[in-house]
Chain A
């Protein structure tokens, strides 16, 4: 029976090529957008270079001070002191990677200005991350403690500053009139990874932003590495207990909020959270609502097209009913036909997505970002197809099944 439905589905598609094109375009285009977005999400949620230990990491990227009576809010990155002082003695913490927010500096090469984004880090930063060293190695504790002017640069910076030179370890790079000796070159991190993206990495002891200040707020971020993925929740709870006791050190503010979140939740909190609220519910509503609306249009379009097609097939429906097809069987047939159409659209969507991702990666639209289709994305794409096919087929199928046989047979 499925073979029969498949034959009919293909024949119907061939019958009205323009309508088929509209349907397939709508489905494949919608799916392409969704799958490219999912590829971005996959990059955000799952471990990706250089953050390969994301499954056992938590991120502290902000401190929030509030005046609960007057509603004042002050949000900033934590200070170096805040991060190192309050994590000292944490039982679940294996390593603490601290890095500053990036600052821009200027370098001049052959009368051309290059902007270099600089990040100041501690030693553990290189142990927590999985940067790929093409040349050299990272700075060590001795170099940090000695405030040595040593730098790790990215491939892109190497190309921009040194041109075609093969090896640059030991060479001098000058930014904002300060000379640094290059000791390592790493593969470019993606620009979407704000914990790790920079053009040049320097010891934090060279930071101009006062890493010795003992206030809560500053210019640094931290990645807390747990001993194993299973310990992450415990580590979060341990930090929550510590954070609940941290004094505001500000007489205008009576509440301090600081969270150690997973990578994904850190992003969500940054966009939608505040105070004790993580913002996850709001994110789900916004995200779910956006996806729903985005899919609603092509679904409605497909429903309309399907109703038109069904009415054209009234005679066939009448014959099938006359020869023993029940309403339920016909609904089933029609939904199967619709699923076949949307699966074809889905396959096209996968092809278009692969092409779109190639184009995005090749254009370097987001520096260092490399998006891929993976089985997770393909699985969600396939599920979306199925849902699409079923939802947009149900109402027309129901309408069709209600056609009176005699009336259906009279339609030509």
Chain B
């Protein structure tokens, strides 16, 4: 499902060159739940961004769901992300000016030929999956951290993507809420066969996933 070959990422400024990722090769099978761990600054978020096509590698090949993505232009990359990928961020990144239901239906806005009624229905379905059907008309600022992250999960799954990328989804939550979120992700993985790649600092959370990859100073060590 995900294939990375010799991925390198270099950040350049006028004076400094930083090698964030050094020849990373990685295969993720369909339906696999993968954790990526490592100390701060080791490149795990950078790797996740490259898998999610939010950033381009300096070198190497990225193949997602059978599609080589290196040469896709902005428009095609956007369409591919919309169809195949869902994102969950540590700080939720919900749009506070929109109600919960509007936030969740966001990915469907960019999918052509999904009428408004169907968008609402799919969004309501996704919210039901994360147990927030009674919060549709609320604004994100009216929700707890755990609830916001559940809305973010609903948004990530509303388009039924094959792959979900989660960047420290429990990082801003207490352990109880974190466990709730982790349970939802595991259900998605087990029930819907969704491939999940999760960056985490939490060994306990990582222990629940199928496989763990460790990075250190931009290189894979496990």
Q: Do A and B come from one complex?
A: yes
**Which residues of chain A have a CB within 8 Å of any CB of chain B?**
1, 3-4, 7-8, 11-12, 15, 315-316, 318-329, 404-406, 409, 412
Q: A8 CA to B52 CA in the complex, in Å?
A: 26
Could you tell me if A409 and B109 are in contact, using CB atoms closer than 8 angstroms?
no
Q: A4 CA to B106 CA in the complex, in Å?
A: 9
The interface centre, meaning the residue of A11, A319, A320, A323 with most chain B CB atoms within 10 A of its CB, is A323
Question: Could you say which residues of chain A place their CB within 8 Å of the CB of B94?
Answer: 319
CB of B75 within 8 A of chain A? yes
Give min CB distance, A17 to chain B, whole Å: 14
Q: A322 CA to B159 CA in the complex, in Å?
A: 13
Given A1-B109, A7-B98 in contact, is the A321-B78 Cβ separation under 8 Å? yes
Q: A11 CA to B95 CA in the complex, in Å?
A: 11
Give min CB distance, B216 to chain A, whole Å: 21
Q: A404 CA to B11 CA in the complex, in Å?
A: 14
Give min CB distance, A25 to chain B, whole Å: 23
Give min CB distance, A341 to chain B, whole Å: 14
Question: Could you say which residues of chain A place their CB within 8 Å of the CB of B98?
Answer: 4, 7-8, 11
Give min CB distance, B73 to chain A, whole Å: 9
User: Which chain A residue shows the least CB distance to B97?
Assistant: A11
Q: A328 CA to B110 CA in the complex, in Å?
A: 11
Name A's interface SS: helix
Could you tell me if A315 and B93 are in contact, using CB atoms closer than 8 angstroms?
yes
Enumerate B76-120 residues with CB–CB distance to A below 8 Å: 78-79, 81-83, 87, 89, 91, 93-95, 97-98, 102, 106-107, 109-111, 116
Could you tell me if A324 and B54 are in contact, using CB atoms closer than 8 angstroms?
no
CB of B44 within 8 A of chain A? no
CB of B203 within 8 A of chain A? no
Give min CB distance, B114 to chain A, whole Å: 10
How many chain B residues touch A (CB < 8 A): the figure is 27
The interface centre, meaning the residue of B49, B82, B87, B97 with most chain A CB atoms within 10 A of its CB, is B97
Q: A3 CA to B83 CA in the complex, in Å?
A: 23
CB of B174 within 8 A of chain A? no
Q: A326 CA to B74 CA in the complex, in Å?
A: 7
Could you tell me if B81 and A324 are in contact, using CB atoms closer than 8 angstroms?
yes
The interface centre, meaning the residue of A11, A319, A320, A406 with most chain B CB atoms within 10 A of its CB, is A319
Could you tell me if B95 and A316 are in contact, using CB atoms closer than 8 angstroms?
yes
Q: A117 CA to B206 CA in the complex, in Å?
A: 97
Give min CB distance, A16 to chain B, whole Å: 12
* From B52, B55, B93, B97, contact of A12 by CB (8 A): B97
Could you tell me if B97 and A324 are in contact, using CB atoms closer than 8 angstroms?
no
Could you tell me if B93 and A319 are in contact, using CB atoms closer than 8 angstroms?
yes
Give min CB distance, B64 to chain A, whole Å: 14
Could you tell me if A322 and B54 are in contact, using CB atoms closer than 8 angstroms?
yes
Question: Could you say which residues of chain B place their CB within 8 Å of the CB of A15?
Answer: 97
Could you tell me if B95 and A322 are in contact, using CB atoms closer than 8 angstroms?
no
Enumerate B59-76 residues with CB–CB distance to A below 8 Å: 74-75
Given A322-B54, A324-B81 in contact, is the A4-B109 Cβ separation under 8 Å? yes
* From B82, B83, B89, B97, contact of A409 by CB (8 A): B89
24 contacts between A and B (CB under 8 A): A1-B109, A4-B102, A4-B109, A8-B98, A11-B97, A319-B94, A319-B106, A320-B106, A321-B54, A322-B54, A323-B82, A323-B87, A323-B107, A323-B155, A324-B79, A324-B82, A325-B109, A325-B110, A326-B75, A326-B78, A328-B75, A406-B49, A409-B89, A412-B91
User: Which chain A residue shows the least CB distance to B93?
Assistant: A319
Question: Could you say which residues of chain A place their CB within 8 Å of the CB of B75?
Answer: 326-328
Question: Could you say which residues of chain B place their CB within 8 Å of the CB of A11?
Answer: 97-98
Given A7-B98, A8-B97, A327-B74 in contact, is the A322-B110 Cβ separation under 8 Å? no
Question: Could you say which residues of chain A place their CB within 8 Å of the CB of B87?
Answer: 322-323
Q: A316 CA to B103 CA in the complex, in Å?
A: 11
11 further A-B pairs in the complex, CB-CB below 8 A; given A318-B93, A322-B54, A412-B91 = A4-B109, A7-B102, A12-B97, A319-B94, A319-B95, A320-B110, A324-B81, A325-B78, A326-B78, A327-B74, A405-B55
Give min CB distance, B47 to chain A, whole Å: 12
Question: Could you say which residues of chain B place their CB within 8 Å of the CB of A324?
Answer: 78-79, 81-83, 107, 110-111
Question: Could you say which residues of chain B place their CB within 8 Å of the CB of A8?
Answer: 95, 97-98
Given A15-B97, A405-B54 in contact, is the A323-B102 Cβ separation under 8 Å? no
Enumerate B24-51 residues with CB–CB distance to A below 8 Å: 49
Give min CB distance, B197 to chain A, whole Å: 15
Given A4-B102, A4-B109, A7-B97 in contact, is the A406-B78 Cβ separation under 8 Å? no
Question: Could you say which residues of chain A place their CB within 8 Å of the CB of B78?
Answer: 321, 324-327, 329
Question: Could you say which residues of chain A place their CB within 8 Å of the CB of B111?
Answer: 324
Q: A406 CA to B155 CA in the complex, in Å?
A: 19
Could you tell me if A409 and B110 are in contact, using CB atoms closer than 8 angstroms?
no
